[in-house]
Amino acid sequence: MENNEFEPLIIAFCCNWCSYAGADLAGISRIQYPTNIRIIRVMCSGMVHPNFVIEALTKGADGVLMCGCHPGDCHYREGNLKAEKRAEAINLMLEDYGLEPERYRLEWVSASEAERFAGIVTGMVKELKSLGPNPFK
Q: What is the pTM of this model?
A: 0.94
For residue range 41-66, list pLDDT tens digits in order.
999 999 999 999 999 999 999 999 99
Is 37 contained in some domain?
A: yes
Residues in the chain: 137
> So what's the pLDDT on residue 44?
97
- CATH number of the domain bearing residue 70: 3.40.50
Q: Is the Cα dihedral 127, 112, 14, 5 positive or negative? A: negative
Say which amino acid occupies 48: V
Is 4 contained in some domain?
A: no
Mean pLDDT computed over 21-26? 98
Mean pLDDT computed over 122-130? 98
Is 39 contained in some domain?
A: yes
Is 137 contained in some domain?
A: no
Closest CA to 20 of 45, 46, 56: 45
Q: Is the Cα dihedral 107, 108, 110, 116 positive or negative? A: negative
Evaluate if residue 39 carries a pLDDT over 90: yes
Evaluate if residue 137 carries a pLDDT over 90: no
Q: Cite the beta strand spans of the chain per DSSP E.
A: 10-15, 37-42, 63-68, 104-108
Q: What is the DSSP string of 23-72?
A: HHHHHHTT----S-EEEEEES-GGG--HHHHHHHHHTT-SEEEEEEPPTT
Is 41 contained in some domain?
A: yes
> So what's the pLDDT on residue 123?
98
Q: How far apart are CA 74 and CA 29, in angstroms?
A: 24
Inter-residue contact 128 to 62 (CB < 8 Å) = yes
For residue range 72-113, list pLDDT tens digits in order.
999 999 999 999 999 999 999 999 999 999 999 999 999 999
The Cα diameter of the chain in Å comes to 46
Q: Determine the 3-state secondary structure of 66 from DSSP.
A: strand
Q: How many domains does the chain have?
A: 1
Predicted confidence band at 2 (pLDDT cuts at 50, 70, 90)? low
Boundaries of domain holding 21: 10-129
What share of the chain has pLDDT > 70, as a percent? 97
